[in-house]
Amino acid sequence: MASKRGFLDSILARAISFLVFLGLAGVIFVIAQDRIMGSQAEAAGPNEAAFVACLHERRAAIDKELADGVYDARQAETFLSRAEAYCRSTTASE
Query: Do 63 and 27 share a structural domain?
Result: no
Query: Do 43 and 33 share a structural domain?
Result: no
Query: Do 90 and 46 share a structural domain?
Result: yes
Query: Do 49 and 26 share a structural domain?
Result: no
- The pLDDT score that the predictor gives to residue 1 is 45
User: Whole domain around residue 23: which residue ranges?
Assistant: 1-38
Query: Do 34 and 45 share a structural domain?
Result: no
For residue 90, what are the CA distances in angstroms to 28, 34, 57, 58? 33, 24, 14, 13
Query: Do 79 and 34 share a structural domain?
Result: no
- The pLDDT score that the predictor gives to residue 5 is 80
**Its pTM surpasses 0.85:** no
Q: Could you list the pLDDT tens digit for every one of the 94 residues in the chain?
A: 446 788 888 999 999 999 999 999 999 988 888 777 765 544 556 678 888 899 999 999 999 998 998 888 899 999 999 999 999 888 876 4
Q: How many domains does the chain have?
A: 2
Query: Do 56 and 87 share a structural domain?
Result: yes
CA 38, CA 29: separation in Å to the nearest integer?
Answer: 12
Contact in structure between 32 and 78 (CB atoms under 8 Å): no
Provide DSSP, 24-79: HHHHHHHHTHHHHH--SHHHH-HHHHHHHHHHHHHHHHHHHHHHHTSS-HHHHHHH
